[in-house]
A and B are shown apart, each in its own frame.
Chain A
Amino acid sequence: EPEVTQTPSHQVTQMGQEVILRCVPISNHLYFYWYRQILGQKVEFLVSFYNNEISEKSEIFDDQFSVERPDGSNFTLKIRSTKLEDSAMYFCASSTTEATKNIQYFGAGTRLSVL
């Protein structure tokens, strides 16, 4: 069964450093998402991406965040200058163009630890 893959599974970084989290969505999907989940809290929407541009973003997704689809398969989230409060699990998800459903398939996540 096709799945969303994320690398690395765990990223440790120093405060102020840049990190890039990588995702390979399911191959025939067209909508891509990033979410974060701080330990013990709910899943929070960060950004959605369609047709090579951001379609929606939350207030969390400020200027230190950016997304890119550098080629036909990868979808990346960059955090320019990490802060301690960026420590969280980051999930990538993708979905199809079905009109009546929005089944988002989630990757296993990247745990980001900012020291």
Chain B
Amino acid sequence: GQSLEQPSEVTAVEGAIVQINCTYQTSGFYGLSWYQQHDGGAPTFLSYNALDGLEETGRFSSFLSRSDSYGYLLLQELQMKDSASYFCAVKWGSGGYQKVTFGTGTKLQVIP
């Protein structure tokens, strides 16, 4: 089966940098996505990594190491509005059909 591990909670100071790690176990791995979800809201796509390395999108960056089954989301210049839950999600499957399995989420609290 698929399993993903990420920390349950992280607290960081406004303006700082925070890294949220995700390790996964899956067969038929295609890629790793990150989603943000504010309380009561829908998940919002942040990034997707299919290949090893760093993807940068504004203040957010995501990293993947396929050999280590590991990725992380890096948030820079933290703002109060970044307080939310962050989910990593693996895209996996075979034969052209793909599923997405979400991790349990990391609740990020940004403090002044």
Could you list which residues of chain A lie within 8 angstroms of chain B, going by C-beta atoms? 33, 35, 41-45, 48, 55-56, 58, 91, 100-109
Contact = CB atoms under 8 A, between A and B. Distances in A.
B99 A109 contact: no
Contacts, number: 55
Contact of B100 (A100, A101, A104, A109): A104
Nearest to A109: B42
Interface in B83-112: 87, 89, 91, 93, 97-105
Contacts of B99: 45, 48, 56, 58
A91 B100 CA distance: 14
B41 interface: yes
B44 interface: yes
Given A42-B87, A43-B87, A56-B93, A103 B102 contact: no
Q: Which of A41, A42, A48, A108 has the most C-beta atoms of chain B within 10 angstroms of its own C-beta?
A: A42
Contacts of B91: 102
B43 interface: yes
A55 B97 contact: yes
Given A56-B93, A101-B48, A102-B31, A43 B41 contact: no
Contacts of B93: 56
Contact of B33 (A42, A58, A102, A105): A102
A104 to B, nearest CB: 6
